[in-house]
Chains A and B, each alone.
Chain A
Amino acid sequence: MSGPRLRVAATAHSVAGAAHIRQMRPCQDAHRVEPTGEGVAVAVSVADGHGSSPNAAEGAIFAVQTATRTLADLHAALGPGAAPRAYRGQIEDGVGRRLVLAWQDKVQRHGSIEGIKRTPGDPDLELTRRYGTTLAAALAMPDVVACLALGDGATLWVSPEDEVLRPLGVDAHAFADQTSSLCTAGAWRDLRVTAWTPPDEGGLLLMMSDGYVNSYADDAALDAVARDYARLVRARGVEAVGAALHGFLRQVSTRGCGDDVSLALIHFAPPEEPR
């Protein structure tokens, strides 16, 4: 009996932004890594709560919880051997919408428990906006990677040839301080979704909040970051790089844009690749 075609390993981390620390504001980013199935699949997510939303920190935590749970459930429902188009189709045809609604339901319940006052007119939307956040999430298996994103930040794929791709493109609404968000009405329509089969040589998927993105001058500089992480992970392994992430992200925020910073790394490695 042969083992899985590729090994999948993931790590993620978030740090409070340098500017947030100076202003004594909490970290409003969140991340989550959740093994699923029998150790061959992993659901990973990062979220970046909006600075203008008073409950953004909770909103981001609810987002990563909801996303990883939803993707793990999808993996269980589709079973082994499902093709990338099945994952993409399921997310586009209903799972994405359910994810958004599950998050909105969670914040509504939290708001009720916390006694947050609702405003007349459009009370549900107003309450949900208090928890506004972006989201990027991925389900990674040896034969399929499925990812989704809502809002700014970046999802990058580094190929075995060190080519850097943006499999989800960019958020069409992101400009200056504005972004698509889980908190908007019909937010699932702004979800960007894709899925593919990683090549036999593997690759690295990076998901980062806009605090990381805005700390570099342009896309080319961010591509260099992604390539360096790919080299580092190939040489040291995900666990060692994961242990270094706190220091890396602190440097990025302090010397970069000052915002909260999150990064998730998902490595696909051939079984024979040395670690």
Chain B
Amino acid sequence: MSVDGNLPLEMELPGGPLSARPLDFIFLLDASSSMHGAKIQSLNQAVEAALPAMRDVARDNPNAAVRVRAIQFDSGAHWHIPKPTPVEQVAWTPMSASGSTSMGRALSLCAAQLRTPPMPDRALPPVLVLISDGAPTDDFRAGLNALMAEPWGKKAVRIAIAIGEDADLDVLRAFMGHPELEPLRANNADTLVQFVRWASTAVLQAASAPPSRALGAPAPSGNVALPAPPPPASAADVW
């Protein structure tokens, strides 16, 4: 803006570009060998299928800049989508499964990116969605401690989805830290699609405009008030 002796009648908005608040949505996805075959295929399909609905939610909430990332964990942990990517630009590359279940390392990797910086002060609470079919084979507790040591880790909305009957529910409960909401249990591909979609839309929506609160006032369980998850789909195929 320039203000000089010859001002136009209409004044321009003071300052430079406005900015919606960033909302980081991070998938933490189990790609260990037990996920090989139908499970990893279903997981890839579920994430890919959720993206259009995520984009719709983002469009309906223009004051939140939704950025998607994904961590894949197997014998190690690495970023499957390394940069915070605007949801409109996310193209899902299918993962393959092999190796052990380094869930603790995945949480540590995530924690490092929730520091300020690189996280901005003025962000919205991140949404972390952990999906696994087994038990960690590394130091899960160290990863969780690293995550919870970061203020944005503590403030994050943390959702866990268990695939099949062998997932370690205690670990997923500890990740969520939610006294009322249990890990979601997906025992077939349709249910997994439903749960991933719920986390990517209803949870995203709830996290995009959290009401401010006074210091010391009771916070909702899980940091933001979440809508109820959908019931499991009744499909014939069971993992």
A positions within 8 Å CB-CB of B: 18-19, 23, 48, 50-53, 129, 132, 152, 173, 175-181, 183-185, 190, 210, 213-218, 221-222, 224-225, 228-229, 231-232, 234-236, 240-241, 244, 248, 251-253, 255-259
Q: Which residues of B contact A231 (CB under 8 A)?
A: 1, 3
Q: Which residues of A contact B16 (CB under 8 A)?
A: 216, 221, 224-225
**Could you jot down 10 A-B contacts, CB within 8 Å?**
A18-B63, A51-B210, A52-B217, A214-B21, A216-B18, A217-B122, A222-B15, A235-B5, A252-B18, A258-B209
Known contacts A51-B211, A180-B215, A215-B19; is A257 also within 8 Å of B13 by CB? no
Any A CB within 8 A of the CB of B145: no
Contact B1 A228 (CB under 8 A): yes
Interface mask (B108-129 → A, CB under 8 Å = 1, otherwise 0): 0000000000001111110000
Q: Which residue of A lies closest to B11 (CB)?
A: A244
A256 to B18, CA, bound (A): 5
Contact B213 A132 (CB under 8 A): yes
- Which of B14, B62, B210, B214 has a CB less than 8 Å from the CB of A229? B14
Q: Is the interface of B mostly helix, strand, loop or mixed?
A: loop
Greatest chain A CB density within 10 A among B4, B17, B125 is at B17
Any A CB within 8 A of the CB of B231: no
Any A CB within 8 A of the CB of B82: no
Q: Which residues of A contact B212 (CB under 8 A)?
A: 48, 50-52, 152, 177-179, 210
Chain B interface size, as a band, is: 35 or more
A190 to B63, CA, bound (A): 30
Contact A132 B217 (CB under 8 A): yes
Contact A179 B11 (CB under 8 A): no
Contact B209 A19 (CB under 8 A): yes
Interface mask (B207-224 → A, CB under 8 Å = 1, otherwise 0): 001111111110100000
**Min distance, Cβ A189 to any Cβ of chain B, angstroms:** 11
Any A CB within 8 A of the CB of B238: no
Other than the given A178-B214, A184-B216, A218-B121, 4 more pairs (CB < 8 A) read A50-B212, A52-B214, A216-B16, A221-B19
Any A CB within 8 A of the CB of B141: no
The 8 closest A-B pairs by CB, nearest first: A51-B211, A258-B63, A225-B15, A228-B14, A181-B214, A231-B3, A52-B211, A52-B213
Contact A50 B211 (CB under 8 A): yes
Known contacts A175-B151, A228-B14, A255-B18; is A217 also within 8 Å of B211 by CB? no
Contact A221 B15 (CB under 8 A): yes
Any A CB within 8 A of the CB of B155: yes
Q: Which residues of A contact B217 (CB under 8 A)?
A: 50, 52, 129, 132, 181, 183-184
Any A CB within 8 A of the CB of B20: yes
A132 to B214, CA, bound (A): 7
Known contacts A50-B213, A235-B3; is A257 also within 8 Å of B14 by CB? no
Known contacts A177-B125, A236-B7, A257-B63; is A184 also within 8 Å of B214 by CB? yes
- Which of B17, B20, B215 has a CB less than 8 Å from the CB of A257? B20
Interface mask (B8-32 → A, CB under 8 Å = 1, otherwise 0): 0001011111111100000000000
A71 to B5, CA, bound (A): 37
Contact B215 A179 (CB under 8 A): yes
A241 to B120, CA, bound (A): 31
Any A CB within 8 A of the CB of B61: yes
Known contacts A51-B211, A177-B212, A258-B209; is A19 also within 8 Å of B3 by CB? no
A185 to B214, CA, bound (A): 11
A253 to B18, CA, bound (A): 9
**Min distance, Cβ A173 to any Cβ of chain B, angstroms:** 5
A218 to B123, CA, bound (A): 11
A179 to B212, CA, bound (A): 7
A152 to B16, CA, bound (A): 22
Interface mask (B47-64 → A, CB under 8 Å = 1, otherwise 0): 000000000000001111
**Min distance, Cβ A247 to any Cβ of chain B, angstroms:** 8
- Which of B3, B124, B125 has a CB less than 8 Å from the CB of A232? B3
**Min distance, Cβ A242 to any Cβ of chain B, angstroms:** 11
Contact A256 B213 (CB under 8 A): no
Q: Which residue of B lies closest to A234 (CB)?
A: B3
**Min distance, Cβ B190 to any Cβ of chain A, angstroms:** 32
Q: Which residue of B lies closest to A217 (CB)?
A: B19
A259 to B18, CA, bound (A): 13
**Min distance, Cβ A125 to any Cβ of chain B, angstroms:** 9
Known contacts A175-B151, A177-B211; is A248 also within 8 Å of B13 by CB? yes
Greatest chain B CB density within 10 A among A184, A222, A255 is at A255
**Min distance, Cβ B173 to any Cβ of chain A, angstroms:** 23
